[in-house]
Structure 1
């Protein structure tokens, strides 16, 4: 079921204006690549563009919402609309395989049945395996009739250069703080929680919603607890913590360090007298209690240390040894 319209999208006004103008002037290219972070609205914009392209009576670049094509899109039964997205197979990571691309090619080879063209949206295009990407490349190079391809990715560097070169690239920025708050409120969050999550989500609705997951909340609390006991850890306690935390995945540890960096940043904001939103506003009393234990110069050094170890964790290091090194250096900076 798809029910996206330009007027319902939060943010990206200039980008949407350009796409609407191109659609009205019939200048939409046969292949477009939407690039940007996860959760900033690429899918909504792609769906609104697809709806406008398939509509029988578009009005100023927007679908009418009433014609047979629009009604079929809403019902999820439009025969000229195709969605390709990664699928998992057993324990393997999700990917787009060549079989799915061949099935797509068979579908778009026929004459459009309801609209004047066909529209294909490819979610997470970077997850095409090499065979699938090369197979798709032939279709993009020689599209069958009136077919428009919209590829979505948060990792364009993972795509084949040959595919990138054949698409018009559209860059999506992150959502502004007030825009992200509005998106989160539309998803059912109350205003206070939307403000809190928007402050830490770096302009991404997907990242904001992920922060509500229990396992992520647990990582946040572990970061806070470490900040509260740092500076008085005996060596054996540091080694125990390193062993315990090494049971987390590499991605979880990077996120945990990110929460620690947010705490240090918030303490610097409090030192400066405020004026900027706090990532940890609901815990401002706990933050204030930490000020006496964290000299301002140590916070800057600790932030650099966190960034250094986030970078190390992205390489192929032994997790426990890496964490032991981090805890020892952290304690030294706290002395």
Structure 2
């Protein structure tokens, strides 16, 4: 487990502000870290937890030598808790039982530090019962307890929880920062730069592409856009593409939608003659050939549709049926029925 601010790439402004809160003993009891997956929010939260729990912090920096820091480094700190979604069902979910179990544990006196820290990963996956149960604890924490909620979808949280947390928004990493992190993970320089181009600021997204499935999804997104631009979408493709894409897991379909959105974004850049770098540099000539085959309004409609269905993946029971529905609507957009 990382406990040091210096090991985190990017987010300097947020880190400086959080360190200042720690150094001046002004940390709020509830914080909300918002941003896309794979940009380091959890690393920042853990470094924050280390600074709060450390016995001898200096200017908001954990010492790394005390019993608390050593326990965190070994992942055995008795006053540090992490909640993660249960992924055994159709969709990841944090259930009320998980929140109640945490509440029972934090009701006891701290063991190693004077404070306790609870990190809730993917807080947006809490069901309504779990969220309402957590709300009561946030409103009346009872002692030196600090909560850090991490989410990629702040709108999925209860307004009452959002209003009781200090919110920090985390932007995506730069292409250079993503490439640097990928290199530290053993991805070679040229490959790291290539993947960083598709990352959209997320190391998680870049790593998903760094295997055969990721490459297949990226190419499938380009092929589907080609069918859209060339007006080849018909009902036969609805069934064949729906079956082909429907075999993927939801997290992989989310990645497919991300790639498809990148292709549309590239086409809009080409359409408007902008000099902004393309995600799909290797397919630039192919995409340029499609310029004008779909109007800007159609491209924007496809973009809106893709984002809508990417969000629906959180609730869809049947990925295949959902993809078939998406392709039918995409067909209507491409054929002029906006």
Identify if the C-alpha distance between structure 1 residues 55 and 329 changes in structure 2 by more than 3 Å, giving closer, same or farther: closer
Partner of 1:95, secondary structure, is coil
Are 1:264 and 2:263 an aligned pair?
no
Question: How many angstroms does 1:146 deviate by?
Answer: 1.1
1:196 paired residue number:
194
TM-score by length of structure 2 reads: 0.82
1:63 paired residue number:
62
Match of 2:303 among 303, 307, 315: 307
Q: Is the contact between residue 229 and residue 290 of structure 2 (CA under 8 Å) also seen in structure 1?
A: no
* Distance in structure 2 (CA, Å) of the matches to 1:242 and 1:255: 20
* Distance in structure 2 (CA, Å) of the matches to 1:211 and 1:82: 31
Question: How many angstroms does 1:241 deviate by?
Answer: 2.6
* Distance in structure 1 (CA, Å) of the matches to 2:241 and 2:139: 49
Question: How many angstroms does 1:126 deviate by?
Answer: 1.5
Identify if the C-alpha distance between structure 1 residues 71 and 324 changes in structure 2 by more than 3 Å, giving closer, same or farther: closer
What do residues 58-77 of structure 1 show as CA deviations (whole Å, max 9, x unaligned)?
A: 12211111111111111111
Identify if the C-alpha distance between structure 1 residues 322 and 7 changes in structure 2 by more than 3 Å, giving closer, same or farther: closer
Identify if the C-alpha distance between structure 1 residues 100 and 263 changes in structure 2 by more than 3 Å, giving closer, same or farther: same
Q: Is the contact between residue 54 and residue 116 of structure 1 (CA under 8 Å) also seen in structure 2?
A: yes
Match of 2:207 among 206, 209, 213: 209
What do residues 175-208 of structure 1 show as CA deviations (whole Å, max 9, x unaligned)?
A: 1222222222222222222222222222111222
TM-score by length of structure 1 reads: 0.83
Partner of 1:29, secondary structure, is coil
1:10 paired residue number:
9
Count of residue pairs brought into register by the alignment: 322
Q: Is the contact between residue 124 and residue 152 of structure 1 (CA under 8 Å) also seen in structure 2?
A: yes
Q: Is the contact between residue 119 and residue 148 of structure 2 (CA under 8 Å) also seen in structure 1?
A: yes
Identify if the C-alpha distance between structure 1 residues 268 and 143 changes in structure 2 by more than 3 Å, giving closer, same or farther: same
Partner of 2:260, secondary structure, is helix
1:41 paired residue number:
40
Q: Is the contact between residue 305 and residue 330 of structure 1 (CA under 8 Å) also seen in structure 2?
A: no
Question: How many angstroms does 1:301 deviate by?
Answer: 5.9
Q: Is the contact between residue 294 and residue 334 of structure 2 (CA under 8 Å) also seen in structure 1?
A: no
Identify if the C-alpha distance between structure 1 residues 319 and 55 changes in structure 2 by more than 3 Å, giving closer, same or farther: closer
Partner of 1:83, secondary structure, is strand
* Distance in structure 2 (CA, Å) of the matches to 1:10 and 1:112: 32
Matches within 5 A, 1:57-96: 57-89=56-88, 91-96=89-94
What do residues 53-108 of structure 1 show as CA deviations (whole Å, max 9, x unaligned)?
A: 1111112211111111111111111111111111134x342211222222211211
Q: Which structure: larger Rg? A: 1
* Distance in structure 1 (CA, Å) of the matches to 2:322 and 2:174: 38
Identify if the C-alpha distance between structure 1 residues 216 and 105 changes in structure 2 by more than 3 Å, giving closer, same or farther: same
Question: How many angstroms does 1:27 deviate by?
Answer: 0.3
* Distance in structure 1 (CA, Å) of the matches to 2:55 and 2:290: 64
Partner of 1:88, secondary structure, is coil
